[in-house]
Amino acid sequence: MAINRSDVLTSAIGVLDRSGLPDLTMRRVAADLGVAPGALYWHIPNKQSLLAGIADTILADPSLAAAASKSRMRWDRQLTGYAHALRSVLRKHRDGAEVVSASLASQLGTSNLQSQIAEIAVSAGAGAADANAVALALTHFVVGFTFEEQTREAMTLAGAAAGELDRTATDRAFAGGVDLIVDGLRARVAAPA
């Protein structure tokens, strides 16, 4: 069976969604595709590259691109919408935030994530340094918050955490954190130079 990079990434995301990151191995992806593990290495050199490819595929979600597109929406609403869209995209996939976090740490992928946020900040009137700081802060907040949220849900399912996650309180806490970052940028842009 002939496979390509897209086949490998599609299969890997399927394995991730079914089994989670701890059980995502090159061997398991190969078995899912019905090929020998060595066949994958023609398309993906190692597991870190696989995780980066998965992260880039996850972040290519059309809803995230739509949230980042230049629109007539005010920058603060656009930035808030982007943060919420990013959280939703990460939550669509089991351990999605952890995969994106690993990819950010390895710097093998997801480079457009922070640049999209920075572009929104620039449209608010932020200078390059402030735009990059907001992009970094918002990225780490959303990915970290969602990572913790997904970890807690997995622990609850495994019986390792007491009680269910309070979805309403979690959503409120997330929105509050995003608002603080947006308010910080608003204050910085409004301050006299």
Mark whether 179 and 99 lie in a shared domain.
Answer: yes
Q: What is the pLDDT along the chain (193 residues), one digit of tens a residue?
A: 688 999 999 999 999 999 999 999 999 999 999 999 888 988 999 999 999 999 999 999 998 888 878 667 899 999 999 999 999 999 999 999 999 999 998 888 766 888 889 999 999 999 999 999 999 999 999 999 999 999 998 888 878 877 777 889 999 999 999 999 999 999 998 876 5
Helix and strand numbers, DSSP H then E, in the chain = 10, 0
Q: What single letter denotes the amino acid at residue 4?
A: N
Q: What is the CATH number of the domain that holds 33?
A: 1.10.10.60
Q: Is pTM, for the whole model, over 0.75?
A: yes
Mark whether 165 and 90 lie in a shared domain.
Answer: yes
State the total domains in the chain. Answer: 2
Mark whether 116 and 179 lie in a shared domain.
Answer: yes
Question: What is the rounded distance in angstroms from the CA atom of residue 26 to the CA atom of residue 39?
Answer: 10
Per-residue tokens: 34? 């019905």
For residue range 65-104, list pLDDT tens digits in order. Answer: 888 786 678 999 999 999 999 999 999 999 999 999 999 9
Mark whether 96 and 11 lie in a shared domain.
Answer: no
Q: Is residue 88 part of a domain?
A: yes
- Determine phi and psi for 2, rounding to 5 degrees: -85, 130
Domain of residue 86: give its range. Answer: 55-190
Mark whether 131 and 165 lie in a shared domain.
Answer: yes
Q: How many CB atoms lie within 10 A of CB 33?
A: 20
Mark whether 93 and 134 lie in a shared domain.
Answer: yes
Cβ proximity of 123 and 69 under 8 Å: no
